[in-house]
Structure 1
Amino acid sequence: MRIEPSFPQRQKGIAVITAILVAALVASLAFALSARERQWLNLVSNRNDLAAAGSSARSAIDLARLTLRDDMRNNQSDHLLEAWTVPVPPINVEEGKVGGRLIELQGRFNLYNLQSGGKVSEEGLVALQRLLTTRNLSTGWAEKLAEAMASQVALWQKTQKADATAARLTSKILLVANLSELAELAGLDPEKMAALEPLVTSLPDATSVNANFAPPEVLMAVTPGLSIREAERLVSRRVATPFKSGQDFVNALPESIRHTTKPANYTVESQYFIAESEAWFGRAHLQLQALLYRQRGKVPDILWIRRV
């Protein structure tokens, strides 16, 4: 014979089930709160790591600025035998590490030289055409890039004349900041233009080419009548004996073109550099690039700075 449980026994069973459910709910809430707390702590830790990485990377750029200032105080020329040209490998700092390097820019072909007074420069145009042939790129690109650069500079100059405040704020800052932006303005493929990255730059002023840093392709491009083989010979020569001036470089050219080459087109003292810094702190990894403008007796100015 089956005996039905009494009413008090049923209540006890319901109470036990309720207690189990309440305990499970409390445990779930505790786990959720703990997970959220861990997430918050990780977020705070990541932000602290990123802040520390950013501070260290910026400090490395400031150290590079002081290095360039002292270098200009100590000598009158820049060349590949100077200590600042050696990259600094990652070194330990506090709870992280930081490294970086300086990149000289006037050894590259300056795309600003494609124009003069907001109009296409024939001399710059021909030089870029010669440079494009070294990378098997269409010489037609030179005209498109020249027109894009000329239009941007003309627009910039018009803005300066119209607004004195804007002129002061935008002094030494070009509207086109990099090669990919200029390529897009010229209607060219930025990825294909990347082949020119080691050979060209976009600076806020017309500049002379640093003969102690320019690769053979650039020397050949900016020196009418110079062959690539002769340019390579000049580059080999400067490894042990850097050029002392633009005239010194011209004196080393083949006699057939020596008297038709302008020493003013070349320099051995650079004003523009890229400072790159890289920092690691915890889970944070940060890379910065800054365009530096150096003047004699002053700490170089930062014209722009960006994350890579």
Structure 2
Amino acid sequence: MSRLPETGFIHQQGIALITVLLVLAVVSVALVSMSTGRQFDIRRTETQLRSAQTWEYAHSLEAWAATRLQEDFSKTKFDGEKDLWAKPLKTKAVPGGNIAGRISELQGRLNLNNLLSDGKASDEDVQRLKRLFTYLNLKPELVEAIVDWIDEDQDIRYPDGAEDETYTALDTPYRAPNQYFADVSELVKVQGISDKVYRKILPYIYVADSREKLNINTASPMVLRCLADDISKDTAESMYRANGKPFESVDDFLKDEALNGIVLNKDSLTVTSKHFLLSGHVAMGNQELNFQSQLIRNAEGEVKIGKRQRRSPAYE
């Protein structure tokens, strides 16, 4: 019986060993790939669940805000800075993370959409916004472009307005909407409104889908000073600190000694509010959500969500 040469036998053993190693390598790669894919699936599912949970908590913050506003409405028919809604919800632990929220009243600010009245520029509101720009050391002529942004025509308010012919000539062209602002963030699209300007005026403005009166109980000294030409910084501070606050009627406000000699349009003022802003924060694991919801409370005290959006803390 013949025998294979010893070298041939060793060669066959080597081939068999290499084959086994290759098979093991392929199996190992397949197992690692399957394991990695499974880990990605688990992480993706976890992220989706966290995201859904985060928004559920955001909705719960809206429910909390609505309840606060309704409770406040049942107790008093005028709104001031010390009302129930003004007390924030401090950071609160919840399963998987924490939440926090605060409600701001908006009608103590200037409503950008008040710049129009019956489709025409409202001179009273245009002048109020121009005063705000002046007191903030900004160019008041920028207000002309803001009016052009929302008025219905294509007529430029010379020399400082801007309509389609200005915006379509940009590197990235667009058109003026010629309708009410949907959100204050639109301002950065208006000719001359830089991010710096926007940040500076943001605490004093808001947007409603209709003309709204100014709440003198919640207006800041800066906003109160914008009501008329002859209001000094000291006078505005006195109006803000008036002993009768919160006023139960506009007449009570106009009778305050701080307003001696100052003539204001009574019909543009109020002591109640229906527009509020919820600023919420939700942290779940490695996910964080900062959002704002504009709340509208009607004459019966019912509250609805006007709009909701993510918002950077820097722009709150």
Query: TM-score band, normalised by the shorter chain?
Result: 0.7 to 0.9
Partners of 1:72 and 1:27 lie apart in 2 by 67
User: Displacement of 1:223 after TM fit?
Assistant: 3.1
Partners of 2:301 and 2:268 lie apart in 1 by 25
- Work out whether 1:276 is the aligned partner of 2:279: yes
Deviations 1:90-125 (A, max 9, x none): 211222221111111000011111111111111111
Partner of 1:50: 51
Contact kept in structure 2, 1:120 and 1:147, CA below 8 Å: no
Partner of 2:236: 231
Partners of 1:243 and 1:11 lie apart in 2 by 101
Which of the residues 243, 246, 265 maps onto 2:247? Answer: 243
Q: Number of paired residues? A: 281
**More deviation, 284-293/127-136:** 284-293
Partner of 2:108: 107
User: Displacement of 1:182 after TM fit?
Assistant: 3.4
User: Displacement of 1:190 after TM fit?
Assistant: 4.1
* 1:87-236 superposed matches below 5 A: 87-151=88-152, 175-186=180-191, 188-236=193-241
| Amino acid across the alignment from 1:278 | H
Partner of 1:10: 11
Partner of 2:41: 40
Contact kept in structure 2, 1:288 and 1:306, CA below 8 Å: yes
Partner of 1:26: 27
Partners of 2:267 and 2:211 lie apart in 1 by 12
**More deviation, 264-273/45-54:** 264-273
Partners of 2:205 and 2:301 lie apart in 1 by 26
Partner of 1:304: 307
Partners of 1:149 and 1:222 lie apart in 2 by 22
User: Displacement of 1:66 after TM fit?
Assistant: 2.0
Partner of 1:48, secondary structure, is helix
Contact kept in structure 1, 2:68 and 2:84, CA below 8 Å: no
Partners of 1:187 and 1:101 lie apart in 2 by 32
Partners of 1:251 and 1:298 lie apart in 2 by 29
Deviations 1:35-66 (A, max 9, x none): 11111101101110111010011111122112
Contact kept in structure 2, 1:116 and 1:150, CA below 8 Å: no
Partners of 1:141 and 1:126 lie apart in 2 by 12
Moved >4 Å (runs of 4+): none
Q: 1 or 2 for the larger relative contact order (CA 8 Å, sep ≥6)?
A: 1
| Amino acid across the alignment from 1:251 | K
Relative to its length, the structure with more helix (as a share) is 1
Partner of 1:256, secondary structure, is coil
Contact kept in structure 2, 1:61 and 1:276, CA below 8 Å: no
Q: TM-score, normalised by structure 1?
A: 0.85
User: Displacement of 1:183 after TM fit?
Assistant: 4.2
Contact kept in structure 1, 2:72 and 2:84, CA below 8 Å: no
Deviations 1:138-175 (A, max 9, x none): 110122212223239xxxxxxxxxxxxxxxxxxxxx75
| Amino acid across the alignment from 1:243 | F
- Work out whether 1:63 is the aligned partner of 2:71: no
The 1:186–1:120 alpha-carbon spacing in structure 2 relative to 1, beyond 3 Å, is farther
Identity across matched positions, percent: 27
User: Displacement of 1:273 after TM fit?
Assistant: 0.7
Which of the residues 292, 295, 314 maps onto 1:292? Answer: 295
Partner of 2:292, secondary structure, is strand
Partner of 1:84: 85
